[in-house]
Each structure stands twice: as C-alpha cells, then as structure tokens.
A and B are shown apart, each in its own frame.
Chain A
Amino acid sequence: MKHFEKWTNTLIEASRRLNEMTPEIGWLDDPQVFRVNQLPAHSDHRFYQTDAELTAQASQLVQSLDGQWQFKFAQTPAERPVGFADPDYDRSQFDTITVPGHIELENYGQIHYINTVYPWEGKIYRRPAHALDSKDQGTGMFSNGADNTVGAYVTTFKLNPELQGKRVVIQFDGVEQAMYLWLNGQFVGYAEDSFSQSEFDLTPYLTDGENLLAVEVFKRSTAAFIEDQDFFRFSGIFRSVRLLAKPDVHVEDMTLRPNVLGDLKTGDFNLALTLSKTEADVDAVVKVTVADHEDNAVLTLTKPAAEHLHFDNVSVENVHLWDHVDPYLYHLRIELAQVDGTTIELVPYDFGFRRFELKDKVMLLNGHRLVINGVNRHEWNAKTGRCISHADMVADLKTFKENNINAVRTCHYPDQIDWYYLCDQAGIYMMAENNLESHGSWQKMGAVEPSYNVPGSLPEWREVVLDRARSNYETFKNHTAILFWSLGNESYAGDNIAAMNAFYKEHDDTRLTHYEGVCRNRAYEDQISDVESMMYAAPADVAAYLENNPKKPFIECEYMHDMGNSLGGMKSYNDLIDKYPMYQGGFIWDFIDQAISVKDEVTGQLVLRYGGDFDDRHSDYEFSGDGLMFADRTPKPALQEVKYYYAKHIN
C-alpha cells in the first residue's frame, strides 16, 4: 500500500500555509484576491459513519452552527470593531443576530432594491480596478467605501464528542459578499463568491473546550461588480454554517458519470474518487454498489483504497432512463471499510442514467427532442429574503409539478445544495448558472456601452470568474438534473467568459454550455455557448433566426416577462415549438415576485413592499415583481395559462 502513504494531506498543507497569512483589508479592492486558504471546491456528497445514520440522513459528524450569534454592525469599514476576533476583545456592546439571515432584514442596514445600475449609483463614482487603466488598482475603493457596511459576527462552540479528535472543517453555504474568518483569534481565511460554499480547515486551531469563531462580513468588495444581479442588495451570512468532521478515510471528491450508450439501453457507469486520510496508518477498501429502486444491486465493485480511484466504463444492461416524466434514480453507495470489514465511511448518491446530446443541431434527451417548459427561479421568501427553507423548496417543486414546469434556471447564481438533490428527484431539468452578473458595467439606460465592462478580457478579472465556474462545476457535477452549465447572466462577452466556457468543455462532455450575453458580442459566438440563447426575443425575431440557416438550437433563457398583470400572448411562443424543431422552449421570467413582507406603518398589517419603499435610491421600484407566484407564494392568475401551454409539450 505504498501509494497510500504518499497521499498528500491537503488539509495539513493548507494549515501550514495559513499560519503565515495575515489578513489584509485591501483584498476587498483587489479582483485577484477572492479566496484565501479556502479548501478546493468538491462534490456535494454527504457522508455517514453507519447505516443507521445514512437511513436517517443525520450524521453525527455534522454540527450545525446556525442560531443566534453575537453581532456588531458598522456603517463603514472605518467604524468597524478592529480586533473583535481576539479572545480578549471586549464584546459587551455586541448585539445578537440570527444566522442564517440578511443583515438588512434585521434592520441594521438599509434595504435596497436596484436592477442593472450599480447600487452606489448617484452616491459614489467607481470604475472596476484595471478596467479603464491596467495600472488602476482600485485601492481603497471598497476597503474605504462609504457604502461598505460591515457585520462582525461571533459565536462560540464546543465540539460534539463525535467530532473531537478528527479533522474538522467549517462550511459556509452563503456569505454575501466578502468574509474574513478567525478561530480562537487566529486568522483562518477569506472568501468571496456569495452563492458558493466556502470551506475552511479548522483542525489546527481547535481546542477541546470552548472555541471562539469570528466572521467579518463586508457588504461590498470587487465582487460587487460581478454580482450585479437584479435583486435586493443584501449582506451577511444568509445560508447555513456547519462543522464537519471527516472519518479517518474520507471521500473528498467524487465524479459520477452515468452515461447511456447510443442504443439508449446500456448504461456506461464511471466513477472517480479522491480520498483523503488521517496520518494514522489505516488500510481501507472501497466498495461501490449501485442498486435500483427496488434495492436490487445492479453492480458491485471493490478496490483497495487509494488517493485516486477510477471505476471506468462499467456496463449496466437495460437501464431505466431518467427524465422529467419518470425521474428514476438509482442508489449509489460507496463504503470505505477497514480490511476487517469495519465501516469507516458511507457515501450515498442517488443518480439517474440519461443521455443528453446535440444531434443535427437539436438537443436530444434520451433520443427525444428536448422541450424546455422552464422558469427562472430566484431563491426568495418574502419574510427572509434569499434565506429560504427546505419547505420553500418543496413547495416550489409542488408548484412546478402541478403546472407542468419541467425546467429551472438557477438565476443568476448557484442555489442551496438541497435544491439540486430535489430537482434530481423531481425530474426537473436544470440550467445551473454561475454567480456572475456585471450588468451595470456594460449596459447603461438600456444601451450597450461596454467601455468598462468586467470581466471582459481583462487578465486581472480572469481567475475570479474561472473560480466561480470551477466552484459551480465541482460542487454540482454529479447531479443528473443539470443539463446545462450557464456561464452567468448579462455580463457581455470577452476572453474571460470564453475561458469559463472552455473550463466546462474540458471537464464535462455530458452537458451543454449556455450563455446569453454572447449575442451582444458576436465575435465570441464560436467560443461561448452551445445554444443560441436570447432573452425576450419576440416570436417573430425567433422565427427570423430559425429561418436563416441557424448555427445552434435556440432557447429563450428568459421570456414571458410576468410583471404584474401580464403573460398575454404565450400562444405565439407555443406555436414556435410546433413549427421549428430547433426552437426548444424557454424559461419564463420568473417564478416568484421578490417583495418584502413588513408591517404597514399606518395599519400595522403585514404588507408587501418593493424597491423605493425603504427610502432606498436609486431604485427600480416594483421591477422585481415578475413572478408566476406572488412573493407570499400564492399563485398569480396567469399560472393557469402556463399550466395549459406547458402541458402541450411535456417531456
């Protein structure tokens, strides 16, 4: 087992590096610093120590840190409590805040809704670092930004017994928009990318007693230029935080490729694993089983453990295919066991066999033309904003099913991890979008004007967007439901977005890439996006594209803008589906109104408020009210029309 000993313990390596690191506030200004000491993104599989845990889907190795934290708000970086992460800092003046949640919805910071132009419009003049002048470092732009509110979060914890003595990491599922992390006064790391999970190794700093965890969250950083989505502008730890302990031998990453051969009957199962282990000398075997719905094993594979393991091209006869109508999932189970059979770790992963391909310029799923009856979906809850519950997701999927919605675009960022599992189970085709939108950098009052566009082709803005593509891919790569990787939304097009496209092409030949913005810059049309995608193209314009020797199949990544009382004329889009095989449907904008439930200052009744209602300016007012659902998750009248037309091409 020599190779076993040569394993690089990435965690220990990482901890050595971070000891040398001192946090700098200037990272907020530098587009080239966006992750410091973060662990690499990896697949989102869960792991357990016993079958009982697995069955209950409750691991003793997980310790949630959600709940009430100590909190101090600062209006500007200059006013923030410097040094608050030190154990002997006087935090007697701290308030409390609920984690997860948005700082603004706890009434510390001002609520603000704005669409395309940047949220500092009319208040601060900013141009992205390096955009107009390669030497412009943007120094102080955010680290000294008058609009850059800061949340100082503190919590204490004792490790649960099951976690003690093990390798322990911390996962932040979503922190907007830049965060610094300390444990017991020692700096751990830094993260941006509000909508991807950030993971850090805590092992070197943990004590057996009480541990002091401190997170400093800045509302703005250079990420602000590429997180210009059309939504309320929040900050804070808005998704869950947890500790995870790793068993002695652990699946760090897995890549599952359940392909289907051209006969549409033979499964071609591929699995690649990356394992890690403690320094203790543990020999292990890896047992992989795949069972069908009735728990009949369709394959069983065993290998000795190694850092990298491959199970390639394993045939499975007569596979039951996965699609929207019949989202049949097989049960993968990976067991890491000692040579005497004692279980070390169990990793389950449900997946489907499906074949998605582009053939004669038409997208086929399992050999049939795909028709997307889709919606764009922001994560939204009128009371808690983008901090949504599992029950919200389940309710949304119920609405999908009841109304023949078969596809979702995760506009315009990765959603909570649970959502992807639920879409696998429900048979919802996913367009998994990166956290990227730089709308304000290239479109001004409706006109295309990309003079200071980011990421563009600027080398200083390349790695940050590639990292977002990587995080999205690595985290979600095993989800059957994902048919498209979407590079982002409304960010124009340049070398950097082409590099994101290339990343996906290098890593995944089982899905297609999607990006609408390339239609704004045709120079990149052969390098970006497998599909021709437009938003809000009128039916006649779609027909014109399809009548003129089209290069790529066409989808509307956004259409039927359902703002207020709307959604008239859907028939014309439905007719396109019948007329043109290369018109493959679209995603309605959008699923749910974004409005906030507050007490009316006059009547005390709960009412829904929108942009501008919080004295927030510049604002786009009610423009975020475009859902098929009202913000309180009751259906808009237009939904029956969607149900009717989407029933015509359900597949």
Chain B
Amino acid sequence: MPSTSTKALQIIYGDATLGLRGTDFNYIFSYERGGLESLVQHGKEWLYRVPKPTFWRATTDNDRGNHFSEQAAQWLATDVFLKCIKVAIKVDDLPIELPISPVNNQYTDHEFADHVTIRFTYETTTVPATTVNVDYQVDGTGAIKVQAHYYGMTSLPELPAFGLRFIMPTPATGFDYQGLSGETYPDRMAGGIPGKYHVDGLPVTKYLVPQECGMHMATDWVTVTRNQTLNNADPSHDDFQLTFSALPKQQLAFSCLPYTAEELENATHIEELPPLRRTVLTLYGAVRGVGGIDSWGADVEEQYHIPSHRDITFGFEIKGV
C-alpha cells in the first residue's frame, strides 16, 4: 500500500504501544490490548476500546425460527472473546522487529516515516480455530487505511456476519452517509433509494424483541458526528466528525448503533437495553440476509449466506485530519 502522503509521520516507539502522530492527530496502537487503542483527531478521542473483528449479529426472529443462531453459536463466543495472537509492524513497507523494550531503545524522540503499517492477528475461539488479520496503514495526513482478512476454514458453521467494530466513548448526535435509504440487507435492498442521508441520533429499530438492525448496504462513506467526549477537561459541545470511506470502486456495509450485538441479544424488550452511552459503528465485509419466507424454519436464500470456508477481505479508509 504505497502512500502518496507528503507529510512526515512521527513514530513514538513506546514500551507498550506504538504511537503515530501528525498535525492534529495522535494514534496509539496497543500491543497488550491487541489493536488501535486511541484515535485522536483535533484533540478528540474516538475510541473507547480497541476495534475488534466481529462475527455475531443479534438473533433475528427468523434466525431463531430456523435455528441458525444455535448452529452458529461458536461465533458468539468468538465475538466476545477473540484474542490477539500477533502484532507485526512495517515502516515505509519494511518489516521491523516488534519495537518493545529493549528493542525500542535504538529509537529516538524524533522518528519519522512516510507511512507505517501495523497488523494485528486474531485467533478465533471456534473449533477448529481460524485467524483474522487487521492491517492499519497510517500516513502523515492522518488517513488510516484498514484491511481485514478472514481466513476461511472448513467445518465451521456459516458466519452470521464479518466486520470490524468501533466502539466510541460517547453517543453520536447522528450520522450521515451516502448509500441506500433505510435499513437494508443483501436480500432486502432493492427498495433502497441511493442518495445522501442524515440520521439523527442512534436509532435502534424498535423490533418487539431487540435484534440485528440498522444495516446499511452499498455505502460509499459514513460520517459520524459527536459533540461530547469523556475528557473531564473538555467541556465543549461543538460537533466533531470522523469519516469512514469505501476504498476506490468498492462499497461498504455499516451499522451505527448504541449497542453491540451482545447487548441487543440480551434484551427481550427495547426498554431493557442499557442507557445510551456509546456509539457502536461496525463496518462489514459480509452480511447475512435476513430471510422472510417464514419465521419457523425457512432458511435465508442460499446466495445470502456467508460460507465459513471462503476467505473474506474488505477494507476502508478512516479519513485524515
């Protein structure tokens, strides 16, 4: 992934993290937490916990009816308990030894590069296990190109979903996107009208029993707007934004909700969901259809399944400052 950046990117070879800095941004990748721990632009933190690959969706009524969730239950455990098994770093496309102490003693307080790539490898808790790589490439503009790769494995159940989940510290005031109107799924997107849309707040579609919801297929970009942080020294309520864009000639699927799949899964009524505290933005590389023939056994049509034996790759860019 060659960069076209002309700005130099400062690298902080920390003892537990790799820091990447530039004008108005500072990103911290944690070796211990296994991912991007901090994404600060213009002094505003965008991450509550490190983004992780996600595999689960909150059971829909049709999933319950056709026992899909029971068959796919391994993916729920992986969604919650995924572990990072490896971190690898390239500076200007050259691999370096993982710069933890004392390896990082060789560096100084003024290390710069054109771009840096850091790869986190995760191992699923499924039996058998498989792996997922997530690569972040950062350049001097602060742009982050993200690539996620799922390694297919036979004898695993079909996937409910495959994506990368970003949990943000405070609730968004809303989001804007260019894509299809309404809530869409691979087998329910013909009626979606292409356009630019604004959504106020973080609506959870009020299905009687909370379930998978809020998916937006065929999206070019999504911009999340927040107006508060958890930083006690930051009383501002001015809007600030972060944009996630599809790579050239590609499109994204995403949902932007206040809850994880597990939080949704756990509620029997919408009023049981926790108070609105955070933003859960998930970018998807694969989305299973919702089905609709009946709710007591009929499967989703074949072409809308996500087979587990095939690799899945997807990417997107988080815009620089």
Report A's interface with B, CB cutoff 8 A: 446, 536, 538-539, 559-572, 593, 595, 600, 602-603, 605, 607-610, 613, 621-623, 625-626, 630-631, 634, 636-638, 640-645
Asked if B201 CB lies within 8 Å of chain A CBs, one says no
B185–A625 touching, CB < 8 Å? no
Q: How far is the CA of A160 from the CA of B290 in the complex (A)?
A: 58
Whether A568 contacts B301 in the complex (CB less than 8 A), given A600-B271, A640-B181, comes out as yes
B188 partner residues in chain A, CB cutoff 8 A: 567-570, 638, 641
Given contacts A568-B301, A570-B190, A607-B271, could you give 11 more A-B pairs where the C-beta distance is less than 8 Å?
A: A538-B298, A564-B60, A565-B60, A569-B301, A570-B292, A608-B269, A610-B209, A631-B208, A636-B207, A637-B205, A645-B191
Once A565-B61, A568-B289 are accepted as A-B contacts, the answer to whether A642 and B191 lie under 8 Å apart by CB is yes
- A602 to B60 alpha-carbon distance, docked (Å): 26
Residues of A within 8 A of B293 (CB): 536, 538-539, 559-561, 569
Q: Report yes or no: B190 in contact with A645, Cβ–Cβ below 8 A.
A: yes
The answer, yes or no, to whether B300 is at the interface (CB within 8 Å) is: yes
Alpha-carbon separation in the docked complex, A640 to B207 (Å): 16
Q: Do A566 and B191 touch (CB < 8 A)? A: no
- Are B208 and A568 in touch, CB under 8 angstroms? no
Q: Indicate if B182 sits at the interface (CB-CB under 8 A).
A: yes
Candidate in B183, B208, B211, B294 with the most chain A CB atoms within 10 angstroms:
B208
Q: How far is the CB of B207 from chain A (nearest CB, A)?
A: 4
User: In the docked arrangement, what's the CA distance between A610 and B210, Å?
Assistant: 13
Q: How far is the CB of A481 from chain B (nearest CB, A)?
A: 26
Contact of B269 among A564, A567, A609 (CB under 8 A): A609
Q: How close is B41's CB to chain A, nearest CB, in angstroms? A: 32
Task: Kindly state whether residue B48 has any CB partner on chain A within 8 Å.
Answer: no
Beta-carbon contact of B185 and A568 below 8 Å: yes
* Interface set, chain B 252-273, CB cutoff 8 A to A: 269-271
> Distance in Å from the Cβ of A36 to the closest Cβ of chain B?
41
Q: When the two chains form the complex, which single residue of B186, B206, B271, B291 contacts A566, counting CB atoms closer than 8 Å?
A: B291
- Total chain B interface residues with beta-carbon distance under 8 A: 40
From B212, B213, B271, name the one whose CB has the most chain A CB atoms within 10 angstroms.
Answer: B271
Judging by beta carbons under 8 Å apart, are B187 and A610 in contact? no
- CB of A15, distance to nearest CB on chain B (Å): 50
| B169-196 to A contact mask, C-beta < 8 Å, 1/0 | 0000000000001111111111111000
Closest beta carbon of chain A to B206's beta carbon, Å: 6
**A563 x B182 contact (CB < 8 A):** no
Shortest CB-to-CB span from B306 to chain A, Å, is 14
Chain B residues within 8 Å of A, Cβ to Cβ: 60-62, 65, 181-193, 205-209, 211-213, 269-271, 289-296, 298, 300-301, 304
Set A567, A569, A608, A638: member contacting B208, Cβ < 8 A: A608
Given contacts A568-B185, A569-B304, A609-B269, A562 and B292 within 8 Å (CB-CB): yes
Known contacts: A560-B293, A567-B292. The answer to whether A625 contacts B298 by CB under 8 A is no
The closest CB in chain B to the CB of A539 belongs to B293
Nearest B residue (CB) for A631: B208
> Does A565 lie within 8 Å of B212, measured CB to CB?
yes
Q: Pick 16 A–B contacts, CB within 8 A, sort by A.
A: A559-B293, A564-B60, A564-B211, A565-B211, A568-B187, A569-B291, A569-B300, A571-B190, A607-B269, A610-B208, A610-B209, A621-B209, A637-B205, A638-B183, A641-B189, A645-B190
Checking B182, B205, B296, B304 against A568 with a beta-carbon cut-off of 8 angstroms, the contacting residue is B304
Bound complex: CA A536 to CA B188 (Å): 18
| Contact call A626/B295, Cβ cutoff below 8 A | yes
A18 vs chain B, min Cβ distance (A): 47
- Neighbouring A residues of B184 by C-beta, 8 Å: 637
- A566 and B192 in contact, given A600-B271, A640-B181 (Cβ under 8 angstroms): no
| A637 lies within 8 A of B182 (CB) | yes
CA distance A408 to B66 in the complex (A): 28
Contact A567 B290 (CB under 8 A): yes
Q: Judging by beta carbons under 8 Å apart, are A605 and B271 in contact?
A: yes
Contacts of B192 in A (CB 8 A): 640
Closest chain A CB from B116 CB (angstroms): 40
Rank and list the top 4 A-B pairs by shortest CB-CB distance, nearest first.
Answer: A568-B187, A644-B191, A637-B183, A564-B61
Would B62 and A566 count as touching, CB distance under 8 A?
Answer: yes
**Chain B residues within an 8 Å CB radius of A622:** 61, 208-209
Bound-complex Cα distance A609 to B272 (A): 12
Across the interface, do B206 and A630 meet the contact criterion of CB distance under 8 Å? yes
Residues of B within 8 A of A638 (CB): 183, 188
B211 touches A603 (CB 8 A): no
Least Cβ distance of A629 to chain B in Å?
Answer: 11
Q: Write the nearest CB–CB distance from B209 to chain A, whole angstroms.
A: 5
Q: Which residues of B contact A446 (CB under 8 A)?
A: 296
Does the CB pair B292–A640 fall under 8 Å? Answer: no
How long is the Cα–Cα vector from A609 to B270 in the complex, in angstroms? 10
B210 and chain A: residue at smallest CB distance? A564
Q: Which of B186, B207, B292 contacts A561 (CB 8 A)?
A: B292
Given B182, B185, B186, B209, which contacts A564 in the complex, CB threshold below 8 Å? B209
| In the complex, residue of chain B having the shortest beta-carbon distance to the beta carbon of A647 | B191
Residues of A contacting B183 in the complex (Cβ-Cβ under 8 angstroms): 565, 637-638
Question: Are B187's CB and A608's CB within 8 A?
Answer: no
Query: Contact: B191 with A563, CB < 8 Å?
Result: no
Cα(A560)–Cα(B290), bound, Å? 11
Minimum Cβ distance to chain B for residue A608 (Å)? 6
| Minimum CB distance partner of B212 in chain A | A565
Inter-chain CA distance A626–B207, complex, in Å, is 10
Contact present for B191 and A641 (CB under 8 Å)? yes
Q: A610-B208, A622-B61 are in contact. Are A572 and B270 (CB under 8 A)?
A: no
How many Å lie between the Cα of A557 and that of B238 in the bound state? 54
Query: Which A-chain residue is minimally distant from B181 (CB atoms)?
Result: A640
- Bound-state Cα–Cα, A630 to B269, Å: 14
